[in-house]
Chains A and B, each alone.
Chain A
């Protein structure tokens, strides 16, 4: 059986704080098909039980296993050897995020910023007996942002996040957009102040790393530009959405 070599970035909080990056190499046999996530399990079970990584659905929908694989943001579960060129594969945690262990990043700040944009539907009308109606065209505007799996790839890739710790970043702003474009949302001033400021949309310099990094091929940059226009519109024409 052929083997592929995985160069895996290691980090043990008990040993490696302040030290230069350390890589371990593991040879993993494969039979036609092998995903990076399968390779990591093979290593963890058979070669080094201490290897740490996040996982859950293995079907590209839970957002657990975003990593930096051969210097690109990818989901480990969705990345098969047939998608990669060489048979030496470099696997690193998402860069620019604090590390917990090995391939596991600290996502606390990421989720704190998600929470900061009030990522929920805001209604002020009396509750209806039935569904709130929405036209198919209105629903279609949600298609892009609701596919976000909160994997953090966009957030890790954004130079504005690297240089401004308080910047909300592309994922949280995409979530704000998801609700601002929803015809059912009745937020007026509740959400706007969270994102229409220098720590929100105005910190985006349209570098577009986020849209390139997204493993679901979403476009946070476009969403942020929409929010910028919406903020201006609301300032000029009142608070109507």
Chain B
């Protein structure tokens, strides 16, 4: 049974940064990842990462405080302001560190890191590498992981936590290359498994962004926070929901309706196409709902043609390739058909600024966590920043905690018990076999329900119908059968095991959204259109209970910025 002081689950930016930090502090750390870390979904991020470097001529007055203000305003005042300040103040250091480790940021004429305007930001603050910033950052950290000789267990799929005597003591995982389950014991675990985009049928996210880590934690009794806040990115490709970066509008791209109008004039006359994502997605959806989609259909255009071939090829080569390969459209010659698409999970495992959760020994960082720095609506360019700032902090916090404590003793017995539990669960699934409920029908039902009932605009009756469907699906989970047992690289096993957890997370989104009778950030209700600070300036905390999610609320940490109406 492998044992390490620290197990980091997930090899994306947050997990890698946490592991590098812990290892530098002398901790025996291992990364467990379902894919090679270089294939993680962090690599799909495009537009950039925010830091008040003041490199851009129009951004000379920029400061971390202004970055914090934009972030808090963007969050519709639901972000915790101490956490936001921590992130924004650390941002320049974090960017320079990634640059020193080799990240190939684009450059301005002075040889400094280039910055571009982004939605909801008062200055051009988003550092970028063309439109492939996530790919470049991810490979930089993977390279650093190899340099530091990090232990990595690659293609192991974590299915549950080992909890012993009220403390997290490791994880159980399916070893994809060898077949079978194995316990990895530890003195601490950091969950860094990314978002839950694939709860929705219209996500920009990678196929593996199923919310697995958050679901495993939630089912082990760890609360999740603010799950009702789901970001819809304004510009996903029409047929695949593949991301077209906000950087396309940062470089000057237009959003155009069927009449050829730049309709953002009506919704955000100052910021125009660079309003925050919640507002821009609602504006597009309103155009579509009112019949001004292209040809009266359910999409609008992202038009880049006026930028010219040179600028597109230099600044936006990646999205040009994606538009050509996946939509058959060359943005140099034609506008790109786009539609708002699920993009980011603002909520997640409830943590403090050091990644600590309510379960001792269990930490979380990155999109699977909720610190919260994004509140009700994340600004573009802040998610990559969150991963490297709070991944590092979590790694450091674990190192500090382990340095002062003696080892928690042998967790092998608890590990064996956890393996026995998962093997019992699999045996039940196999016993039902082809007579059981089809797991993929449950998945399809859930993704359609989330897309149709918990989308850009929400309304009580519609959400309650959605909740009923999810409740039925949850009941059916108990009867799911596994058709293909055993062997290596068993996708049927992995995809079946994660479905119930996905439905559990979907229920936290649904219940949180129905309960919150206001509109704030990404949570926009047609039957309660105003923000209600008197009643709802608070975080939703969902805990798993017999009857479903139990909701509690916690005050928001305010600070320098008093809640005000958001105007862009």
A residues near B (Cβ < 8 Å) are 12-14, 33, 44-46, 48-64, 78, 80, 82, 100-102, 104, 107, 111, 114-115, 118-121, 123, 127-136, 138-139, 142-143, 146-147, 149-150, 179, 182, 184-185
Contacts and interface: CB of A to CB of B under 8 A. Distances in A.
A139 B106 contact: yes
10 contacts: A50-B484, A54-B35, A56-B35, A59-B322, A62-B206, A118-B147, A127-B100, A131-B99, A146-B132, A150-B39
Nearest to A58: B207
Contact of A56 (B101, B132, B206): B206
Contact of A104 (B99, B107, B484, B489): B489
Contacts of A82: 328
B566 to A, nearest CB: 31
Given A49-B484, A61-B135, A62-B39, A78 B325 contact: yes
B478 interface: no
Tell which of A14, A49, A121, A135 has the most Cβ of chain B within 10 Å: A49
A133 B99 CA distance: 10
A64 B206 CA distance: 11
A51 B493 CA distance: 11
Contacts of B35: 54, 56, 62, 64
Given A56-B206, A120-B102, A100 B488 contact: yes
Contacts of A14: 487
Tell which of A45, A48, A63 has the most Cβ of chain B within 10 Å: A45
A146 B139 contact: yes
B553 interface: no
Interface in B34-61: 35-36, 38-41, 43-44
B490 interface: yes
Nearest to B135: A61
B43 A61 contact: yes
Nearest to A104: B489
B515 interface: no
A71 B106 CA distance: 37
B325 A132 contact: no
Nearest to A52: B489
A118 B243 CA distance: 32
Interface string B178-222: 000000000000000000000000000011100000000000000
B102 A121 contact: yes
Tell which of B108, B129, B177, B326 has the most Cβ of chain A within 10 Å: B326
B256 interface: no
B440 A61 contact: no
Contacts of B40: 56, 62
B321 interface: yes
B239 interface: yes
Interface string B231-252: 0000000011011000000000
Nearest to B136: A146
Contacts of B165: none
A50 B488 CA distance: 9
Given A62-B39, A120-B102, A115 B146 contact: yes
B546 interface: no
B122 interface: no
Given A49-B491, A50-B487, A142-B104, A59 B440 contact: no
B336 to A, nearest CB: 14
Interface in B125-149: 129-130, 132, 135-136, 139, 143-144, 146-147
A134 B107 CA distance: 7
B468 interface: no
Interface residues of B, number: 57
B112 interface: yes
Contacts, number: 155
A120 to B, nearest CB: 4
B208 A139 contact: no
B96 interface: yes
A111 to B, nearest CB: 7
B44 A107 contact: no
A146 B492 contact: no
B483 interface: yes
Contacts of B95: 131
Nearest to B492: A49
A126 B430 CA distance: 59
Contacts of A127: 100
Interface in B92-126: 95-96, 99-102, 104-113
B102 A59 contact: no
A120 B143 CA distance: 5
A33 B237 CA distance: 14
Contact of A134 (B101, B111, B242): B111
B100 A13 contact: no
A114 B242 CA distance: 29
A63 B146 contact: no
B239 A33 contact: yes
Contacts of A60: 321-322, 325
B489 A101 contact: yes
Given A44-B491, A50-B492, A56-B207, A123 B112 contact: no
Nearest to A184: B102
B440 A101 contact: no
Given A56-B41, A62-B39, A123-B100, 7 more contacts: A50-B490, A55-B208, A56-B39, A60-B322, A60-B325, A114-B146, A131-B96
Contacts of B109: 136
Tell which of A80, A127, A139 has the most Cβ of chain B within 10 Å: A139
A62 B483 CA distance: 29
A56 B239 CA distance: 18
Given A49-B491, A104-B489, A139-B104, A78 B111 contact: no
A15 to B, nearest CB: 10
A51 B208 CA distance: 17
A123 B322 CA distance: 35
| A-B CB proximity, top 7 nearest | A121-B102, A133-B111, A49-B492, A49-B484, A52-B489, A120-B143, A62-B39
B249 to A, nearest CB: 19
Contacts of A78: 325-326
A132 B207 contact: no
Contacts of B111: 133-136, 138
Given A133-B112, A139-B107, A57 B38 contact: no
Nearest to A110: B36
A58 B198 CA distance: 12
Nearest to B482: A49
A57 B209 CA distance: 9
